[in-house]
């Protein structure tokens, strides 16, 4: 089997995988590996196939095989790190992840890949959530910032970053982050809800109600905005 035939089979396999015809996809990748057991593309794609089907043990072994053949395969490293984490092998996950992370940061000739960056962002997000669980706010902020830098398209990460600022008592910084987020994404109601809560906590009732009313004008089914608006109106009436 020549390289062109290998490429053709891999492309067919990817097509079958996309259409969720896993048996045909595995047959294509397996056919390549039968003739060339060290085909990086076939190994990597069949490992992803196993992962997609929930065959975690086979996926782990195959990603490990990819790294035996090519230790510099960053995407395989990240995928393997995620899988190790999923099965509770946290030390292995951390080691593989840190090696890949250093390689990406240290490589002067590496081309930035948004797909890889998003995988790194996911790992940093997991760490940030873990630190937050134990109220380790400084470490959590550090990881959220890394996740946001790697995947700036994720509005949720930026929202969580602002919430951690608020938990640390940096209310002004949290408000600044949320205002920036809502100005860049005017229809992102979650940012407006969170901003309203901070305004209300600071005694800026009118500003808070304005944000929640805007949420409802964007999405009339926004339960949080409706709840907070009603509570703020009731509280205001009691004060009066």
- Residue 110: per-residue pLDDT: 43
Tell the burial category of 237 from Cβ atoms under 10 Å away from its Cβ (0-12, 13-18, 19+): exposed
- Name the token pair of 164: 């951690």
- Residue 104: per-residue pLDDT: 62
Residues of the chain with CATH 1.25.40.10: 1-110, 168-240
For residues 60-69, average pLDDT: 94
- Residue 28: per-residue pLDDT: 94
Confidence of residue 197 (pLDDT cuts 50, 70, 90): very high
pLDDT at 159 over 90: yes
DSSP secondary structure letters along 66-103: HHHH-TT-HHHHHHHHHHHHHTT-HHHHHHHHHHHHHH
- Of the two residues 235 and 190, the one the predictor is more confident about is 190
- Residue 240: per-residue pLDDT: 33
The Cα 36–Cα 9 span in angstroms is 12
| The model's pTM | 0.57
pLDDT at 98 over 70: yes
Cβ within 8 Å of residue 12, ≥6 positions away: 24, 28
The third-level CATH classification (topology) of the domain covering 168-240 is 1.25.40
Q: Is the sign of the CA dihedral 103, 104, 109, 113 positive or negative?
A: positive
The third-level CATH classification (topology) of the domain covering 1-110 is 1.25.40
Confidence of residue 37 (pLDDT cuts 50, 70, 90): very high
Confidence of residue 109 (pLDDT cuts 50, 70, 90): very low
- Residue 114: per-residue pLDDT: 66
Confidence of residue 24 (pLDDT cuts 50, 70, 90): very high
* Average pLDDT of every residue of the chain: 87
- Residue 237: per-residue pLDDT: 46
In contact, 121 and 88? CB cutoff 8 Å? no
Confidence of residue 96 (pLDDT cuts 50, 70, 90): confident
Confidence of residue 12 (pLDDT cuts 50, 70, 90): very high
Please tell me the least confidently modeled range out of 85-99, 142-156, 163-177, 207-221: 85-99
């Amino acid at each position: 089997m020549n390289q062109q035939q290998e490429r053709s089979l891999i492309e067919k396999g990817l097509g079958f995988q996309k259409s969720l015809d896993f048996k045909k996809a595995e047959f294509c990748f397996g056919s390549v590996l039968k003739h060339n057991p060290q085909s990086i593309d076939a190994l990597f794609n069949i490992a992803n196939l196993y992962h997609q089907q929930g065959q975690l043990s086979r996926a782990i072994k195959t990603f490990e095989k990819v790294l035996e053949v090519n230790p510099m395969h960053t995407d395989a490293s990240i995928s393997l790190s995620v899988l190790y984490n999923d099965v509770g092998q946290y030390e292995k996950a951390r080691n593989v992840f840190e090696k890949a992370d250093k390689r990406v940061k240290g490589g002067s000739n590496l081309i930035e890949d948004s797909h890889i960056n998003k995988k790194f962002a996911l790992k940093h997000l997991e760490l940030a959530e873990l630190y937050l669980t134990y109220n380790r706010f400084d470490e959590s902020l550090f990881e959220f910032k890394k996740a946001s830098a790697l995947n700036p398209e994720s509005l949720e990460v930026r929202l969580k970053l602002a919430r951690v600022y608020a938990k640390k008592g940096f209310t002004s910084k949290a408000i600044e982050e949320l205002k920036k987020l809502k100005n860049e994404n005017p229809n992102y109601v979650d940012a407006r809800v969170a901003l309203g809560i901070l305004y209300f906590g600071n005694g800026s009732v009118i500003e808070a109600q304005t944000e929640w009313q805007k949420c409802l004008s964007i999405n009339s089914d926004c339960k949080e905005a409706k709840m907070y608006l009603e509570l703020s109106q009731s509280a205001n009436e009691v004060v009066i």
